[in-house]
Structures are given as C-alpha cells and as structure tokens.
C-alpha cells in the first residue's frame, strides 16, 4: 500500500548529467530543467576553509572567468564522469530541489540517470551514489547511446540495426542497437569541450592571444565548421595579447576554426569507423540503408554530418533537437520501465 502511495505522490525523474549541461525530465511533464553543469563555490577563510554553494547553473556559468578570489566557478563533471564528487552531489541536490520540492506528501523520487558507455564501475558507482546522496530513493542507470537512440525515435526494439553517434560536451558515444540491446558500444573522451580547447590552443599559437572558454564556445557556435568548402564566415574576437598583456581584438575565419578542430574531428571519425568495422554484416546492411543518427550538442557543429557522410559513404541524419535526445530517451524509459526494463545497466 505504501508503495502505491509513494508512486502516486512522488515525482520520478530522468536526468542527463552532462559535462556541459544537466537536463531533467519529469514523468508526465517532459523536460523541466536545462542548466549548465557549473557550480560557483565561495571559500570562507582561505582555500582550506569552509566551502558554500554560491550559485548553480546559468547563474554560476555567467561567473566563469569573472569571479573574485574567494569565489570559484567550477564544472564538477569532466569527460562525462564525476571529477568532484562532493560538488556534483551538491549541484544535483540543488537541481532536484528546483523541480521536486520535498515534503511529507512528496517522498524521495526514483531517478534514471544516464552514464557514458565507456565509464568504469567506479565512475558509475560515483554517479549512482551522488544521486542517492542528492535525495533519490532508487537509482537506475542507462547508457547514453541507448538513451540517445530512444530519444531520437530509432526502432531500438526491432530486429534491425540502428546506429547512433552522440557527441556531448565530454564524450562521443557510438552505439549499434538491435532487439533492445547494444551490439556494439564505444566511447571516446572527445566532445564539445575538446573543440573549445582546440580553438583556445589554435588562437594562442597563431595569434599570441588568450581567450576564455565562453569566447571559444561562442566562436564554435557562430563560425565553427567540420567540412571544407562551406561558406567562409568571419568573426571579430576579443582577447588578451600575451606579449603586451592588454586586451586586443582580431578577426578569425571559419577555415581557421576548421583547421583548429582537425584532431578532435579525426578522433570522432575514427570512433565511427571502428564501430562500423565491428558491426555484424546483417546489421551493417541495415545501417547502410537507414544511415546513422547524430545526437548531442556536437551534432550542431556545421557540416559535421557532411564530414561523416564523406568519410563513411553512409547517409547521416541529425536528430530533431539533438541537445535533448538523451534526456528525452531517459524520460521515455522512465515512463516505460516495465516494458523496457532490460535496457537498464548494473554497475
């Protein structure tokens, strides 16, 4: 009886705990939270003193690179997994509180949370324990390629091959799925963050200028490109001249950003080719006919679909609203737990 009472009043949640953003899906409501995975910490009494949460999400991200000495804006997730356990737990607790205020009549929620398919048992246990510490009553894990495929509307339960390439902030996940299981799964720790780092490094090396992460992200979104021959775009960028130590502006082109992104893009292409080489022939034939599906924020990089189509000779589709595919897939799994129980993973 209590179980039925609990299910009626509690709000079950599906969470995409990403390196760049955290999204939360609530049963029967859809996506209710989309915030950057950033926390601003206030240090009281020096670096070894008491730490308190100053802000999370959008408010904390706005502070990146602009905070005074006693406040630190950090991203507690790195490469798709937890880099700072305590801060991640506190961040999750704040996000869950935003969408699930606790009361006597609202017990702790059940939570489905996605994990990179290349994460270790230790990393998965850390994610599970951070969710429990943040107030979950039960925690289920689902691997990101499976969640992305479900969210993109691929027929994961059918006896045919579906291929998904999910490019997040910290990792690129490649999965080949048939009959509700993953026939192949691969993960490389290359994603949107590595794109930003490559842009920062290129500008430092070629212009002698230092820019921050937010500026690199803006360059990537505005003039970033993955394939030559596209329309050439230019953008004025402000940064600090390393030799003079003063702010300066300069203009950079999309062709230069293409050059800057060569290495991370090659890593993604290699991961996709590796998946195709290891896919059984019958499922490979299905993928050749149906194509592969791109999801995640990285799928929005201009002409990435063209690059992968050129390199593999296969059709490449970009999912509708690729940024939310993983959390939508988690949400569908949440609402169909009895039917899709086999897709969840243990530690």
Binding residues for ATP: 19-21, 169-171, 217-220, 297-300
> Which residues belong to the annotated binding site?
19-21, 169-171, 217-220, 297-300
Alpha-carbon distances of 25 from 28, 96, 174, rounded to whole Å: 9, 11, 23
């Amino acid at each position: 009886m209590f179980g039925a009472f609990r299910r009626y009043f509690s709000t079950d949640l599906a969470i995409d705990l990403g390196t760049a953003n955290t999204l939360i899906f609530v049963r029967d409501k859809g996506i209710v939270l989309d915030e950057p995975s950033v926390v601003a910490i206030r240090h009281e009494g020096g670096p070894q003193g008491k730490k308190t949460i100053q802000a999370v999400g959008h408010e904390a991200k706005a502070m990146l690179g602009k905070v005074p000495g006693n406040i630190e804006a950090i991203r507690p997730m790195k490469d798709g997994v937890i880099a700072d356990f305590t801060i991640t737990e506190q961040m999750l607790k704040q996000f869950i509180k935003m969408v699930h205020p606790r009361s006597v009549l609202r017990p702790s929620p059940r939570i489905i949370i996605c994990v990179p398919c290349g994460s270790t048992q230790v990393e998965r246990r850390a994610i599970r324990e951070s969710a429990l510490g943040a107030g979950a009553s039960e925690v289920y894990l689902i691997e990101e390629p499976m969640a992305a495929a479900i969210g993109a509307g691929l027929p994961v339960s059918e006896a045919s091959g579906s291929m998904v390439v999910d490019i997040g902030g910290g990792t690129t996940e490649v999965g080949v799925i048939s009959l509700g299981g993953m026939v192949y799964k691969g993960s490389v720790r290359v994603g949107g963050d590595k794109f930003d780092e490559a842009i920062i490094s290129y500008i430092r090396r070629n212009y002698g200028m230092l820019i921050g992460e937010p500026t690199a992200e803006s360059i990537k979104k505005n003039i970033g490109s993955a394939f030559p021959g596209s329309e050439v775009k230019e953008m004025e960028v402000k940064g600090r001249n390393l030799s003079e130590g003063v702010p300066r502006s300069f203009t950079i082109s999309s062709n230069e950003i293409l050059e800057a992104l060569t290495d991370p893009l090659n890593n993604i292409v290699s991961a996709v080719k590796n998946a195709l080489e290891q896919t059984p022939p019958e499922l490979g034939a299905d993928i050749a006919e149906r194509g592969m599906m791109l999801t995640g924020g990285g799928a929005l990089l201009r002409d990435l679909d063209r690059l992968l189509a050129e390199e593999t000779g296969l059709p490449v589709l970009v999912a509708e609203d690729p940024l939310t595919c993983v959390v939508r897939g988690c949400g569908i799994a949440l609402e169909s737990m009895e039917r899709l129980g086999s897709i969840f993973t243990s530690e």
